[in-house]
Homo-oligomer: A and B are copies of this chain.
Amino acid sequence: MATPLLTKNQTLVMDALSHSEGPMSAYTILDKLRDHGFRAPLQVYRALDKLLEYGLVHRLESLNAFVACTCPHDHEHDHGVTAFTICEGCGQVTEFHDAAIEQRLSALTRAQNFKTEKTTIEIRGHCQSCA
């Protein structure tokens, strides 16, 4: 599916995430958007749901936070497995993709007849600068 045009709220949330240095929680996004008329968490969560669905945003499960996708591609096709390094020092998040990991996980899940719907890979630690 091609990404549809974003609504006003979706655009506001997307812009907030795109211009952010690092990941933001839903409530942090809410605070950033109060000047633009946001009043309640649900406005953020609803926009995030769509942006996640379109593949424009990723959720970091270990942080309860969200980041804009940094893939070069146009989001018209599936991401496959997305992985992240997350620096505990500076908060920097780096998204990466690796076919070898994907194939290996696929082989392992196939072996237990498990049907994968979503894969989370998050690596917490320290980046080069913060080591």
Query: A: which residues have CB within 8 A of B?
Result: 61-62, 83, 85, 87-88, 94, 96, 98, 100-101, 104-105, 108-109, 112-128, 131
Contact = CB atoms under 8 A, between A and B. Distances in A.
Nearest to A88: B117
Given A61-B61, A117-B88, A120-B62, A125 B109 contact: yes
Given A61-B61, A61-B62, A126 B114 contact: yes
A89 to B, nearest CB: 10
Given A94-B112, A100-B104, A122 B88 contact: no
A118 B120 CA distance: 13
A122 B96 CA distance: 16
Contacts of A83: 105, 108
A19 to B, nearest CB: 24
A88 to B, nearest CB: 7
